[in-house]
């Protein structure tokens, strides 16, 4: 066990968990693991065009469903073990999103247990950014993103056509269509909220933060915990 920390951000789609995770990673020098970004990189890699397993996961992603819990857990826990060897603190956006991924079963060790063994329970922080369903739909259906550099501020710059940083064409994410956002929200309520409930029951540090204010205000609140 070491004195590094592991931080996990939760929240419905568009709550700003990716933004806050990135800010915290830059401020506190934490390794950032954004599961959504990790998956998007795999799904858009032409190398995997004929890989049946990856294409099946991509279809789930495009439908607004969570991808296979076992597949995600395998990839995430591999990454965490690499980080442990590097003696590095870590921040997650997008994992663990299901009870299986968080707590495992009798054959698999869940992410929470793995993190606890590496970092110690007192060094685990779970932030939960709270916004309404209406706000989630509003934010995501307006969201524009640069596929190359993913500058978070671009999400609000709806009049821009190209990224001012790298020049790539700004676009909507393939899963940011209204009907898909509704499905993602449903997945969040059904699969991810039970994880937060269980974490509280097991007495982990779960911190609820209002996700409505401007990102820098939320960030200042989060920094108070470190």
Residue 66 binds ligand AMP (CB under 6 A): yes
Number of residues that bind ligand AMP (CB under 6 A): 17
Backbone angles phi, psi at 63, to 5 degrees: -85, 0
Residue among 7, 23, 30, 72 that touches ligand AMP (CB under 6 A): 72
Residues in the chain, overall count: 226
Residues 6 or more apart from 200 whose CB is under 8 A from it?
206
CB of 94 or CB of 211, closer to ligand AMP: 94
Q: Are 102 and 112 in contact (CB under 8 A)?
A: yes
Residues from 3 through 22 that contact ligand AMP (CB under 6 A): 13
Which residue in this structure is represented by tokens 């993913």?
Answer: 150
Residues from 189 through 208 that contact ligand AMP (CB under 6 A): none
Nearest one of 38, 96, 65, 75 to 179, comparing CA atoms: 65
Q: How far is the CB of 3 from ligand AMP (least distance, A)?
A: 26
Q: How far is the CB of 188 from ligand AMP (least distance, A)?
A: 8
CB of 72 or CB of 209, closer to ligand AMP: 72
- Give the bridge partners for 210, in sequence order: 130
* 3 state DSSP class of 209: strand
Q: How far is the CB of 169 from ligand AMP (least distance, A)?
A: 20
Q: Which residues bind ligand AMP (CB under 6 A)?
A: 13, 35-36, 39, 61, 64-67, 72, 94-97, 101, 175, 184
């Amino acid at each position: 066990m070491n004195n590094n920390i592991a931080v996990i951000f939760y929240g419905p789609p568009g709550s700003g968990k990716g933004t806050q995770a990135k800010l915290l990673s830059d401020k506190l020098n934490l390794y950032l693991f954004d599961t959504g970004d990790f998956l998007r990189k795999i799904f858009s890699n032409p190398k995997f065009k004929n890989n049946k397993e990856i294409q099946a996961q991509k279809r789930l992603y495009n439908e607004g469903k969570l991808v296979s819990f076992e597949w995600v857990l395998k990839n995430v826990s591999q990454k965490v073990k690499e980080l442990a060897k590097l003696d590095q603190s870590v921040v997650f956006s997008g994992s663990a999103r299901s009870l299986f991924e968080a707590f495992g079963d009798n054959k698999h060790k869940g992410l929470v247990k793995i993190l606890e063994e590496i970092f110690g329970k007192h060094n685990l922080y779970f932030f939960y950014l709270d916004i309404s369903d209406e706000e989630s739909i509003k934010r995501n259906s307006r969201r524009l993103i640069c596929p190359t550099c993913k500058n978070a501020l671009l999400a609000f710059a709806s009049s821009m056509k190209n990224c001012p940083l790298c020049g790539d064409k700004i676009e909507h994410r393939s899963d940011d269509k209204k009907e898909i956002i509704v499905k993602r929200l449903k997945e969040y309520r059904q699969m991810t909220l039970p994880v937060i409930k269980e974490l509280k029951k097991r007495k982990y540090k779960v911190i609820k933060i209002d996700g409505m204010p401007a990102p820098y205000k939320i960030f200042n609140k989060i920094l108070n915990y470190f």
